Structures are given as C-alpha cells and as structure tokens.
Amino acid sequence: MMQSTLTFSIVIPTYNRPQPLKTCLDSLQTLEYKRDHFEVIIVDDGSEEPLDNIVNPYYHHLNLTLIRQTNGGPAKARNTGANAAKGQYLAFTDDDCTLDENWLSALENGFSKTSNAILGGKTINALPDNPYSSVSQLLIDYLYDYYNQKSAQATFFASNNFALSKDLFEKVGQFDVTFPLAAGEDREFCDRWLFRGYSLHYVPEAIMYHSHYLSLAKFWRQHFNYGRGAYYFHQVRSQRNQTSVKIEPLDFYWKLFTYPLTTKHKQSLKLFFCTLLFLSQLANLYGFFAPKLGGSVANLWKRYDR
C-alpha cells in the first residue's frame, strides 16, 4: 500500500478488554470509507493475555497493526500508536467504542473545511439501561454543551472520539505521559492545543457509541480519577500559563445538577440522575483534594487501577 493514499490512522489503545475490542473491530469493518485510505493501529497496553487470537481474523479485512507495550497508561499507548501511524490524520477512539459507518467520512468532510483543527465527534451512550453509564455520558454531554457552545470555537473533546493532523500532533507535543490513567490527559492536550494557537471544531456527524459498563463502585472510582486528573491538569496548566486554578461559577454546578431534568428520561430517572451527578462531583472533589489530604500524586496514581 502506498503511504500517500493513507488519509487516516485509527489509533485504539486497549487494556484487558478483549471482547469490547472485538466489537470495536467489527464496527471498523462496516465503515463506509475506502479500505486503502485508512489503517488501524491497536496498542495493547500490557494486557494480561495476548490479543493475537482476537485480532488475527481482522488482518484479512483491515490494514491492521498490533503493537504490544508494557503497561504505561492510555496517554503513552496513544502516543505509541501515533508514532507508528502513516496516515495524514490521526483518529483516536477506545476499545469500548463502536463507530458509525460514516465516522471517517464525516471527519474527512470536517478536515476539508479546516485541516488545522482538532475535530471532535458526537458520543452516544450504548448502555441506556445502565444508570451509571447513562449519567457519565450525561456529564460529558453537559460539558460539551457548556464548553463548546459554538461548534467552531470548542475548548474540549474527549479522546475517545477526536481526530487531528499527525504533523500538528507532533508539533504540539503529543499526550502528556505523566497522566497514566484515562483521566485528564485529553483535557490537558486540548488546552495545550489552544495555547499554541490552534482551534477545536465540533463535528456532530462523526458519531461513536460508547459501551462503558459501570457499577456504583466503578462510577465512584471513575469520577474520583477524574478529580485526580483535574488536579494534575491544573498543576501542568499553571506551570505553562502561570495562572491560578479557575473555579467554575455556582451557576455551572446548578445547571449541571439539574441537567437531567432537560432530558427525555422518565421523571423518576431524572431525579435519580440528578442525585448521581451530585455524587459524581463529590467523588471528583475528593479526588482533586486527595493529594493535599495525604500522599503524593505519584503514590495516588499507583494506588488505584484504571
């Protein structure tokens, strides 16, 4: 295959989730996009069991590369995939995601209008019967509504559904590998991208379905980790910009806690979702201040799984 024909390199970090990865790969086979114009790079971030049995059947249908590395977190895994990529653009997603058949076409259309921006797509919760997964997606939806009110002046996209120029990814400096958890490294990269003078554009036609199963305990840990990521993000940002931590106004939190009331869910679920959003922010707050309450940031990173 000629390198020049590769428009996209789809980078997928994975860790101990072989079956979700298989579902993700199944969705890649349905993409309505020329097969010789994209490649798929899977980075196994030190899974307990090798992924060859899962991945091998797809070599016949996709231009696919499997890379295995020692566990270093999703930021390092994404960088590893990007370093091996041959496409003009990097398209990042996760192993628990399935892609709409028009995902790459929508991204290509977006880049035809603005090639030097990060393009962020729309994420839909694929587990609507799981209240914890639903609320986590509601939180992301709210943040997108809040921070990306103008699609051409967005300020944050989650790294499970965004794409950008490979050259500019290298120029801006890749993901910060001191974020070993999936918590904050995408926020920091978007902030650094804006700091360097580039833009973010929302492309709602680039649809991805997220299947992240959560229990109450996993929900708490996820948002605790988000708080830890936010703490480290603000440390990095203050060093770069010499600015203090910005606290959102009370109106931000009031609108967040009442956000489920604007959705089409049943009334009983809306109230439950409001309660879970409040719980998520308690976990986030605890994670943010945990480094100050006891132990270094490094010790906290090691104490919890992702």
Residue type at 109?
N
Residue 3's pLDDT is: 46
Nearest Cα neighbor of 9 from 95, 71, 78 is 78
Nearest Cα neighbor of 26 from 51, 57, 50, 5 is 57
Positions of the chain with pLDDT under 70: 1-4, 151, 180-181, 241-246, 292-306
Tokens found for residue 246: 């910005």
CA atoms of 74 and 181, how far apart (whole Å): 7
pLDDT digits (tens, 9 = 90+) for 135-189: 999 999 999 988 887 767 899 999 999 999 999 999 999 999 987 667 889 999 9
Cβ–Cβ < 8 Å for 39, 9: yes
The CA-based dihedral angle spanning residues 198, 203, 208, 211, taken in that order and rounded to the nearest 10 degrees = 70
Tokens found for residue 282: 């308690």
Measured in residues, the chain has a length of: 306
pTM for the predicted model, two decimal places: 0.90
Helices 250-257 and 267-293 pack at an angle, to 10 degrees, of 140
Residue 148's pLDDT is: 84
What residues contact residue 55 under an 8 Å CB cut-off, 6+ apart?
21, 25, 42, 64, 66
Nearest Cα neighbor of 280 from 257, 259, 300 is 257
CA distances from 107 to 36, 122, 161, 179, 218 (A): 16, 11, 10, 27, 32
Residue 182's pLDDT is: 72
100: DSSP letter = -
Residue 25's pLDDT is: 98
Residue 179's pLDDT is: 73
Q: Which domains does the chain have, with CATH numbers?
A: 3-303 (3.90.550.10)
